[in-house]
């Protein structure tokens, strides 16, 4: 059964099992997500639901999105997103953290932390040039980019300096350690993409959730 929810990464902590083992977990404020629209095969060619998450002022919402909220007769939310999940949901229904259960396998997607323009050492984990034998004065530059007159160009795909981070990354087969529906909190084993406060998407594992 396909499940999904939108949440906010709050940070990391650790929990202890009954036999004394320490489990590092990420605390996620999961939902509540309100259903604002439905996609059907007859009208749109596929089945999905459109959910809204977070709180926002009406003046900060664009008019097309604001029309979706007014049609669904709900308050404006911070973001809106389509989710392909199983089950029947009516407009106005809420999806909470209890959609997932403990020990269930999930895939978590989010935007990694943006690090701006970075060199090859930080971006691609390359080593610096030698500190002697006439290499200086720059020791953190790219180095050789290939042949000179034989090719006279840089091949596509070469590791170069550039923008690092702010990419959508998915970590698969993470485990739900605890689901607290009263506080809308999920504890996910391990780390998830993105800095604290970023919005992430949690969905059922696509690879079967093998241990």
* Tokens 């089950």 found at: 87
Could you tell me the pTM of the whole model? 0.79
Burial group, residue 83, by CB count within 10 angstroms (0-12, 13-18, 19+):
buried
Residue 211 pLDDT > 50: no
Residues 30-41, mean pLDDT to the nearest whole number: 84
Q: Is residue 74 within 8 Å of residue 54, measured between CB atoms? A: no
Rounded CA separation 193/111 (Å)? 6
Do the strands 22-30 and 185-189 form a parallel or antiparallel pair, or are they unpaired? antiparallel
The three-class DSSP label of residue 121 is: helix
Rounded CA separation 56/31 (Å)? 15
Query: Would you state the CATH architecture of domain 4-115+168-204?
Result: Beta Barrel (2.40)
- Report domain extents, the chain: 4-115+168-204, 119-164
Band the pLDDT of 208: cuts 50, 70, 90.
Answer: low
161-196 confidence digits (pLDDT tens): 999 999 999 999 999 998 888 888 999 999 999 999
Nearest to 97 by CA among 10, 166, 187: 187
99-154 confidence digits (pLDDT tens): 888 888 999 999 999 999 999 999 999 998 888 887 778 888 888 888 777 788 88
């Amino acid at each position: 059964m396909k499940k999904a929810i939108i949440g906010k990464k709050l940070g990391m902590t650790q929990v202890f099992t009954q036999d004394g083992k320490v489990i590092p977990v990420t605390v996620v404020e999961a939902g509540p997500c309100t259903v604002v629209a439905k996609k059907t095969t007859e009208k749109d060619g596929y089945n999905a639901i459109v959910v809204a998450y977070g709180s926002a002022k009406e003046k900060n919402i664009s008019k097309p999105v604001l029309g979706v909220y007014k049609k669904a007769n709900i308050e404006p939310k911070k973001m809106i997103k389509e989710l392909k999940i199983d089950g029947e949901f009516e407009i106005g229904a809420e999806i909470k953290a209890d959609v997932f259960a403990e020990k269930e396998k999930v895939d978590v997607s989010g935007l990694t932390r943006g690090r701006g323009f970075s060199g090859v050492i930080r971006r691609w984990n390359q080593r610096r040039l030698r500190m002697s034998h006439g290499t200086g004065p720059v020791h953190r530059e790219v180095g050789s980019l290939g042949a000179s007159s034989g090719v006279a160009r840089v091949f596509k795909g070469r590791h170069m300096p550039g923008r690092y981070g702010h990419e959508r990354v998915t970590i698969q087969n993470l485990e739900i350690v605890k689901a607290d529906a009263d506080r809308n909190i999920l504890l996910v084993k391990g780390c998830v993409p993105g800095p604290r406060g970023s919005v992430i998407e949690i969905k059922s594992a696509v690879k079967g959730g093998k241990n």
